[in-house]
Amino acid sequence: MLKRFLSLWFPYLITDRQLIRQPALREMPFVFAAPQRGKMIIKASSIPAVSLGIRPGMAAADARALQPDLLVLPDKPGLEEKLLQGLAEWCLRYTPVVALNLPDGLILEISGCPHLWGGEEPYLESITSTLKSKGYHARAAIADTIGCAWGMARYGKSTIIAPANQRQALLALPPVALRLDAQTLDRMDKLGFSRIGQFIDIPTPTLRRRFGEATLIRLGQALGTAHESLEPIIPQEPYVERLPCMEPILTANGIKIALAELLKTICLRLSKEKKGMRKGIFRGHRMDGKIEEISIGTNMPSYNPEHLFRLFSLKIPTIEPDLGIELFEMEALLVEKISETQESFWHSTGNDVTALAELLDKMAGKMGQHTIHRYLPQEQHWPEHSIKVTQSLEDRPSSEWKTDRVRPLHLLTAPEPIEVMVPLPDYPPLNFRYRGETLKIVKADGPERIEQEWWLQSGPPRDYYTVEDESGKRYWLFRLGLYEKGDPEWFLHGFFA
Amino acid sequence: MKALGNKDEAIRQLREKIMEMEGFTQSMSTPSTSLGLGPIESAFPSGRFTLGTVHEFISPNPNDAAATNGFISGILASLMCKGGFCLWISNRRSLFPPGLKRFGVEPDRVIFIDLKREKDVLWAMEQGLKCSTLSAVVGELQEISFTESQRLQLAVEQSKVTGLLHRHNPRSQHALACTTRWRIFSLSSELEDKMPGVGFPTWKVELLKVRNGRPGEWKLEWKNGRFNQLPLRKEQTKEALFPRRQQYA
């Protein structure tokens, strides 16, 4: 069967996306740049910038010399792929076979599709004009081969190459339209080949000797004599399962059966894809049009239907069937890959972590996820900020737990003010009053000064003292502020073991 | 009638059987699970700190609670030395995770469950104690009834998880189905040659009750990542130094 391909080219992909988000930039020249070998190199430039001669590959500093008020935005690596993925999914309405063509295009296999739009011309027109109305500049070309369509979209004048006519179309294009590497292009330039037509008739052995096998393959792919494969995107199907009922369900038992049934099907799919549910929602569509729903979250991705059933079943009593539920729906809102490496992480078997995660899920189901805390160190000195909460069991500390400074075992959530007697500034107190009791300090360590994190908050520093009273109880006290600057306040912040 | 002849032998065997049922098995406390408590461990009938049972700690005020948690953390360090997680269930938590590091516990291996009601703490403790993958479960609360403590004991008998029950300022100190009852007080730290500053965490450890063992009092300090026994001075053993609450007397 005759194949037809459409190549889509987005010459201003990233800048177009920026303009969609920030229409105010339309008239302004702006570029995206990323650091490369110590220089900011332009990765993409907008149409006004290109008209000023600012092209990708230039140094941002050189571009600023051309246009002093040039706006330089940081480039996000991987953004093109994300955008193209989205566009490719959108293109699925035109053909079922769409492939990414990084960094700036898409390839659509359109065999047997254009007649639905009334021919290739209206088909191509429909794609480009819809994209344009969305704000993306796009050029497209249709040909028998991917190579030819690619070259025509970027370097050709005509957009639709009649079947078996690619050789004629290629003759006038520059060699770069064949997707050759920079070294070969450079050599062709030196030899004075500026059109494909100038070397297309040279015998194959000579071409191979001069420019290598890759050139011949590319030429063959453009002409249709060599094979080129496509890797079409596979659209993500949402993780939703539905179960309609013959008769409205009223009983908890009926709901349980529906729940188990839906979990079985969704878990089968998840286990095949080696994925697990982190968040799930179970909906019941009632006869009167209202939707009853219960949702769960897990600490670790899970595809174990029994475990998920246990989590959901804790909440079944909150469902009000009223006149009856006629349709059940199960959706996995958050799905994550099941990591295979967790075994070695904890020097224990994967089952152990799974059992723990299931225990925590059970607790979260009864008491709420907010009751479960696991802490990781945070590289900040302010005691309250030195830890952060993590929700996952698999997160590892990004830095070591600090032991160079002594920290109390008990920390009060809010420091409590105390009255102290201090012999000299910067000395630990002689005694302090806490909750109506005067405690005499016998031993003390400190001060350890902790400055405010000025980028987060402002205020005086804290000077911490570790003190021990007569009976051997150990406290963590601090003075907020300095004696030189007015009257500082003292607080009790924690207890040592 | 034959059994009568071996009466002593039969009693000894029965006693061993009972001990085993109560969690005092020799096989469970292999040398690697010795907690380094030194002379305290000899107070236990098996000569080792019993694992797979529930231990009760009582602290009358917030300050001694910190000392008790310090002692508990020292025990946790040995229980968790082979990896694994520990649950810390509490309705009055003031524990500061980075402080655990000093006692050899990786704070990110401890999962804190902060609940409001004591009933929930007990429920969570029971669930945790049933999960044999945990290294230990610590529960902090005020009151617990005998029946509730029995439920915890039943849970550990299956899973062999060690439970550490920390009671803050309990109204009454009635008997519980726990293997031991401890009280830990802070003592002033001792520094060599009268050096200035605060020394290592030092405690008076009172083992008030231990099933089939000998209760006693010791002075311990936490030094260089392990328990270190110190001689207990006469005046420190006096009840007068730490007046017990009226209810207790």
Say how far apart CA A87 and CA A91 lie, in whole Å. 6
Contact at CB, A377 and B107, closer than 8 angstroms: yes
Within-domain flag for B18 = no
Contact at CB, A497 and B196, closer than 8 angstroms: no
CB-CB neighbours of B154 under 10 Å: 13
| A397 near B CB under 8 A | yes
Bridge partners of A387? A377
Q: Which residues of B touch A442 (CB under 8 A)?
A: 188
pLDDT at A382: 87
Say how far apart CA A344 and CA B128 lie, in whole Å. 23
Of A387, A410, A442, the CB nearest to B188: A442
Q: How far is A344 from chain B (nearest CA, A)?
A: 11
* Crossing angle of helices A305-313 and A252-272, rounded to 10°: 140
Lowest model confidence (mean pLDDT) among A129-138, A433-442, B226-235 = B226-235
Say how far apart CA B58 and CA B167 lie, in whole Å. 5
SS3 for A149?
Answer: helix
Q: Which one of A352, A474, A476, A493 would you mutate to disrupt binding with B, by most B Cβ within 10 Å of its Cβ? A: A474
Averaged pLDDT score across all residues of chain A: 86
SS3 for A368?
Answer: coil
pLDDT at B27: 45
Say how far apart CA B4 and CA B18 lie, in whole Å. 20
**Domain spans of chain A?**
1-236, 242-337, 373-404, 410-495
pLDDT at B51: 84
Say how far apart CA A332 and CA A278 lie, in whole Å. 8
| A405 near B CB under 8 A | no
Residue B165 belongs to a domain with what CATH number? 3.40.50.300
How many A×B Cβ pairs under 8 Å? Answer: 170
Within-domain flag for B105 = yes
Within-domain flag for B193 = yes
Q: How far is B45 from chain A (nearest CA, A)?
A: 28
Of A383, A403, A445, the CB nearest to B198: A445
Tell me the average pLDDT across A207-229: 87
Name the CATH superfamily housing domain A1-236.
Reverse transcriptase/Diguanylate cyclase domain (3.30.70.270)
Closest residue of A to B134, CA-based?
A: A356
| A376 near B CB under 8 A | yes
Q: Terminus-to-terminus CA distance in chain A, angstroms?
A: 81
Q: Which one of B59, B61, B63 would you mutate to disrupt binding with A, by most A Cβ within 10 Å of its Cβ? A: B63
Q: Which residues of B touch A410 (CB under 8 A)?
A: 62, 65-66, 69, 94-96, 99
- Positive or negative, the Cα torsion across B9, B14, B15, B17? positive
Query: Helix/strand/coil (H, E, C) string of chain B?
Result: CHHHHCHHHHHHHHHHHHHHHCCCCCCCCCHHHCCCCHHHHHHCCCCCCCCCCEEEEEECCHHHHHHHHHHHHHHHHHHCCCCCCEEEEECCCCECHHHHHHHCCCHHHEEEEECCCHHHHHHHHHHHHHCCCCCEEEEEECCCCHHHHHHHHHHHHHHCCEEEEEEECCCCCCCCCCCEEEEEEECCCCCHHHCCCCCCCEEEEEEEEECCCCCEEEEEEEECCEEEEECCCHHHHCHHHCCCCCCCC
Residues of chain B with pLDDT under 50: 1, 27-32, 238, 240-249
Taking only residues 412 to 431 of chain A, the set having a beta carbon closer than 8 angstroms to any beta carbon of chain B reads 412-413
Closest residue of B to A435, CA-based?
A: B62
Per residue in A379-414, pLDDT tens?
A: 888 888 888 888 777 778 888 888 888 889 999 989
Per residue in A94-125, pLDDT tens?
A: 888 899 887 888 999 988 888 888 888 899 89
Q: Do residues B115 and B90 lie in contact, with contact meaning Cβ atoms separated by under 8 Å?
A: yes
Q: Do residues A85 and A101 lie in contact, with contact meaning Cβ atoms separated by under 8 Å?
A: no
Tell me the average pLDDT across A28-40: 86
pLDDT at A280 over 60: yes
| A362 near B CB under 8 A | yes
Q: Cα separations (Å) of A25 from A63, A73, A275, B207?
A: 17, 12, 42, 75
Q: How far is B97 from chain A (nearest CA, A)?
A: 7
Whole-complex ipTM? 0.82
Contact at CB, B131 and A355, closer than 8 angstroms: yes
pLDDT at A20 over 80: yes
Q: Is beta strand A474-480 parallel, antiparallel or unpaired with respect to A437-450?
A: unpaired
Of B107, B124, B242, the CB nearest to A375: B107
pLDDT at B234: 61
Total domains in the fold of chain B: 1
Nearest of A66, A25, A65, A62 to residue A47 by alpha carbon: A25
Within-domain flag for B170 = yes
Query: Helix/strand/coil (H, E, C) string of B125-193?
Result: HHHHHHCCCCCEEEEEECCCCHHHHHHHHHHHHHHCCEEEEEEECCCCCCCCCCCEEEEEEECCCCCHH
**Position B83, amino acid:** G
Of A352, A409, A494, the CB nearest to B133: A352
Q: How far is B170 from chain A (nearest CA, A)?
A: 19
A377: cis peptide before it, omega within 30°?
Answer: no
pLDDT at A304: 84
Q: Which residues of A touch B96 (CB under 8 A)?
A: 383, 407-411, 494
Say how far apart CA A11 and CA A50 lie, in whole Å. 11
Q: Which residues of B touch A401 (CB under 8 A)?
A: 98, 101, 106-108
Tell me the average pLDDT across A128-141: 90
CA A395 to chain centroid: 17
Q: Terminus-to-terminus CA distance in chain B, angstroms?
A: 48
pLDDT at B246: 44
Per residue in A146-184, pLDDT tens?
A: 988 998 899 988 888 888 888 888 888 888 888 888 888
Q: Quote the Cα angle for B212-B64-B126, to 5°.
A: 55
Lowest model confidence (mean pLDDT) among A36-50, A209-223, A450-464, B228-242 = B228-242
Q: Which domain holds residue B166?
A: 52-225
Taking only residues 441 to 480 of chain A, the set having a beta carbon closer than 8 angstroms to any beta carbon of chain B reads 442-445, 466-468, 470-474
Contact at CB, A410 and B96, closer than 8 angstroms: yes
Per residue in A323-379, pLDDT tens?
A: 889 999 999 888 888 765 443 344 444 456 778 888 888 888 788 888 888 899 888
Q: Do residues A221 and A229 lie in contact, with contact meaning Cβ atoms separated by under 8 Å?
A: no
Closest residue of A to B124, CA-based?
A: A363
Identify the residue with better confidence: A455 or B156.
Answer: B156
Per residue in A239-261, pLDDT tens?
A: 888 999 888 888 889 999 999 99
Q: Which CATH class is domain A242-337?
A: alpha beta
Q: Which residues of A touch B100 (CB under 8 A)?
A: 409
Tell me the average pLDDT across A474-496: 88
DSSP secondary-structure letter at A383?
G
Contact at CB, B241 and A471, closer than 8 angstroms: yes
A447: cis peptide before it, omega within 30°?
Answer: yes
What is the Rg, in whole angstroms, of the alpha carbon atoms belonging to chain B? 19
